[in-house]
Amino acid sequence: MSKKLSEMTLEELWMLFPIILTEHNDCWTEYYAEEAAELKRILPEETVINHIGSTAVKGIWAKPIVDILVEAKGNLQDIATTLQNSGWIKMFESETRLSFNKGYTENGFAEKVFHLHLRYTGDNDEICFRDYLITHPDVAKEYEKLKLKLWKRFEHNRDGYTEAKSEFIKKYTMLAK
């Protein structure tokens, strides 16, 4: 009998959900649009929803996980409850940021996988980075090369993979601003 996700250690989760990179797939835009439509239906009207991350940048390899940024003016806890009641699983929480996922199963990734980043309005550096990559394809390819270089080294260590990309992301986010 397999363990429930909530019973697994971080290392077990990283083994079940390794870093996987794949060529850009246009279906990611469709997955985002479908999920964004559902979010617009259940979240407060003033909520801003954006497709972020590498799946939002055509032409570069990415983890096949659609990242969504939700910016809200209201009580984040109320929105978190709405998200959880709609099937989103809370993965992280701080005073001003929450993250959720959908598409993680006891058997690995589902066909459609999402990460949702819930923030207060204006906490959106990821949009600056995304837009910079879209308007600077040479930098996007440089980012892709970095990710491909790090992939196998950090295949079962998401935190290490994210940390190893952070200087690059900070540099180009600051340039974008």
* Domain-embedded: residue 2: no
The one-letter amino acid code at 142 reads E
Could you write out the three-class secondary structure of 146-165? Answer: HHHHHHCCCCCCHHHHHHHH
Residue 5 lies in a domain: no
Q: What is the CATH number of the domain that holds 129?
A: 3.30.460.10
Give the residue from 113, 98, 117, 119 showing the smallest Cα distance to 62.
Answer: 113
- Residue 66, domain extent: 11-176
Mean pLDDT of all residues in the chain?
94
Question: pLDDT band at 5, cuts 50/70/90?
Answer: confident
Tally the domains of the chain.
Answer: 1
Establish if 6 belongs to a structural domain. no
Residue 4 inside a domain? The answer is: no
Confidence of residue 7 (pLDDT cuts 50, 70, 90): confident
pLDDT of amino acid 107 = 86
Judge whether 78 lies within some domain: yes
In a domain, 154, yes or no: yes
In a domain, 39, yes or no: yes
Region 84-112: what's the mean pLDDT?
92
Asked if pLDDT for residue 10 goes beyond 80, the answer is no
Contact (Cβ atoms closer than 8 angstroms) between residue 70 and residue 123: no
SS3 51: strand
Q: Does some domain include residue 3?
A: no
DSSP string, 73-141: SS-HHHHHHHHHHTT-EEEEE-SSEEEEEEEEETTEEEEEEEEEEEEETT--HHHHHHHHHHH-HHHHH
